[in-house]
Structure 1
């Protein structure tokens, strides 16, 4: 099947974005969303659960949100803070570096080595502006593109978004539409026009503030698009930036993550009012995207610049698979440990699957 028709066909979106996640650096968050060591934020990228966490060294790291013992998620909330994260199934616990620090009743198992059972770390990159990107490739990822680096620097110059920008509000919404249909920017433009007006009416910047913004060349709107599904917008009359990212949750649902940042050193921000305005406007955006998705034609999706770039990346990946003679699974990780330990693990899994604790549905015989 032609790759265009394959991408546009039902049931393909998760495969497509998962492949892109291995080939592309994806924007997820800003460093100031992690206020203290242990602060974390969870994400699901096309079925791949991951989380970002701030270490005691203040570095932001990314990990697969999967316990090495039973593949249960480690973080149970979208955001939270803890310097030790534990799986509730068998009590395996990990620190902010992803190291296994507690494994009940496994310390005496022959061949068991805690150091070989750390969480799988994901490549993370923090830019000079404080934006955090990840790449899911388990090998050597592609270099962070110079063109993206330059675009971020240009946006910082226009907007002021940087490491000192403060997080104001944010939320993850869910929309009943296919991610491919949401990859167009028409809806965003309409929503941003309305937001600009509402924010200006709420903040009512003084003449002195407006003059200062004009003198510092910040009295203008600026928009930055990051492939494959992120848009960052700076408001014309306020030192505010809004980041919007779309993640496919299934073939019929999309998650919309939004975060608002304040880059002003002197402006007084009514955070409650801003949170209400932003939330209301973006919920309306999701509703409009849901309604319009029923009428979006295949031609509209085909003709979008995002689709063309996605297809280019997918063709490159397809070509690489043909050269290697098989499917490439860049994120696959191989377990370590002695043969005895791996055999014990297999037996443990079989007992779990056949006992009353199977599928996490209750307490089984091995539920320590």
Structure 2
């Protein structure tokens, strides 16, 4: 026994044991360190008494360049804005025949107009001859829309009624050269939606329409609503910044707080109507561009849209409406408050976008249902393009009688109509419809 003890507790045996233990600790230490680091990153701790919730980290599905890549924007134009029902306006903005409003939506110039027959229609805002702009103002009123390039004129149904120098061209038919009409739908409440798809588009989503119907009941939105004020602002950020859920709350709060007198209370009839609503909706988002909001216990509601111009530029369009008449003093107060609040909103989003694109990354707020839906739609369109082996342009228009156009163009050249290039400063306009 003594010999065994001498062996176990000899200096050499103790030295070997210490070295072995040191090697084992050194080998295990990196794993212990990584485990602690991973727990810290995942948002939980190894302390069993910790009250922090356990969470599982998940890699984002949003692709790199989601807010900045021009290729993603072009895919959005083809896969989303070329075949989705987009809210543009309310019928209250077109109170008489010939009243129109122009829009730039994802690079597609369009306008909406009320016809002499009372119907609201939408058209591509380009002349059928040389693609020159038809409506040059954002808003206006005219029952005859003329192109200043060669004098082609159209009526409120888009029909070509005048084509100087072409009336005597053999085979030229005015009926084949009407403006390209866009699918438009006006709801029972007066909301005007358009779809750029050249083919028959899918119907408006039932769930989205159900939400808007609930909002319409709560807000008093109706065809007889009164347009009070509105404006379009150009801003330097990606249009999807409007999908951030918390971005508009300060805007609505500021707007109402700045109008204590202009925001008159709603009528008794409106108050009674809301009492019997089980779940009144004061806000409704229509994918992918527009938020509808009404101010509780007032007669006002508004629409705020984010229409993309490019991957880094957006047109902010806001309009405020009332379901009863509004005096001039009240209108002026509302217009001023809207302008101030919208300008502040623009600057705040531009600052957020600048910070995000300069190292801070995409906030977790954007991992939401609307972002996933946009990603799903453009991913599906990209899959179809890969299957076909080429890009697909749902909004592309194929003019009838293109051979007649060739003949007309020859006549135009002989008359030296195009010697100075395009009057809109873009002589090489490429249209993808």
TM superposition score normalised by structure 1: 0.89
Aligned with residue 362 of structure 2, among 299, 318, 328: 299
Which residue, out of 276, 281, 284, partners 1:224?
284
What is the distance in 2 between the residues matched to 1:136 and 1:245? 17
Q: Secondary structure at the match of 1:290?
A: helix
What is the alpha-carbon distance in structure 1 between the residues aligned to residue 246 and residue 309 of structure 2? Answer: 21
Mapped to 1, the partners of 2:146 and 2:236 lie a distance apart of 32
Distance of 1:253 and 1:278 partners within structure 2: 21
Change (3 A) 1:266 1:27: closer
8 Å CA contact 1:39, 1:53 repeated in 2: yes
SS in 1 for 2:386: helix
Alignment partner, residue 319 of structure 1: 383
Q: In structure 2, do the counterparts of structure 1 residues 290 and 353 end up closer, same or farther at CA, with 3 Å as the change threshold?
A: farther
Match of 1:359?
422
Structure label with greater radius of gyration:
2
In structure 2, stretches of 5+ residues that fail to align are: 1-60, 426-433
Counterparts of 1:117 and 1:124, CA distance in 2: 20
User: By how many angstroms is 1:344 displaced?
Assistant: 4.3
CA distance change for structure 1 residues 203 and 143 in 2, over 3 Å: closer, same or farther? Answer: closer
Give, in whole Å, the separation in 2 of the partners of 1:216 and 1:267. Answer: 25
CA contact under 8 A between 1:203 and 1:269: conserved in structure 2?
Answer: no
Residue 137 to residue 237, structure 1, CA distance change in 2 (3 Å): same
Deviations 1:72-109 (A, max 9, x none): 00001000000000000000000001000000010111
Question: 1:245-269, CA deviations, whole angstroms, 9 ceiling, x for partnerless residues?
Answer: 0011223221100000101479998
**Structure 1 residue 114 displacement after superposition:** 0.3
Match of 2:77 in 1: 18
User: Aligned-pair distance for 1:210?
Assistant: 7.0
Work out which of the residue numbers 215, 224, 246 in structure 1 matches 2:272. 215
Superposed CA offset, 1:143-194 (max 9, x none): 1111122111111111111111111111101112222333313221111112
2:367, 2:83 → 1: CA distance?
Answer: 22
Q: Distance in 2 between matches of 1:170 and 1:213?
A: 24
Name the structure 1 match of 2:372. 308
Aligned counterpart, 1:5: 64
Structure 1 residue 278 displacement after superposition: 1.3
Distance, in Å, in 2 between the alignment partners of 1:335 and 1:27 is 27
Superposition pairs of residues 1-368 of structure 1, within 5 angstroms: 4-5=63-64, 7-12=66-71, 14-19=73-78, 20-203=80-263, 205=265, 209=266, 213-217=270-274, 222-264=282-324, 270-296=330-356, 297-300=360-363, 303-337=367-401, 339=403, 341-345=405-409, 348=412, 355=419, 357-360=420-423
Aligned mates of 1:266, 1:348 — CA distance in 2: 51
How has the CA–CA distance of structure 1 residues 44 and 349 changed in structure 2, closer, same or farther, with 3 Å as cutoff?
Answer: farther
Aligned length: 358
* Residues 307 and 314, structure 2, Cα contact 8 Å, conserved in 1: yes
Cα gap change, 1:334 to 1:285, in 2 (>3 Å) = same
Please state whether the residue corresponding to 2:81 is helix, strand or coil: helix
Distance in 2 of aligned mates of 1:26 and 1:361: 27
Encode CA deviations 1:3-61: one digit per residue, 9 max, x unaligned. Answer: 82364452245414423112210000000100110100000111110000100111100
* CA RMSD in angstroms, aligned pairs only: 2.8
Contact 2:124/2:181 (8 A) holds in 1? yes
**TM-score using structure 2 length:** 0.76
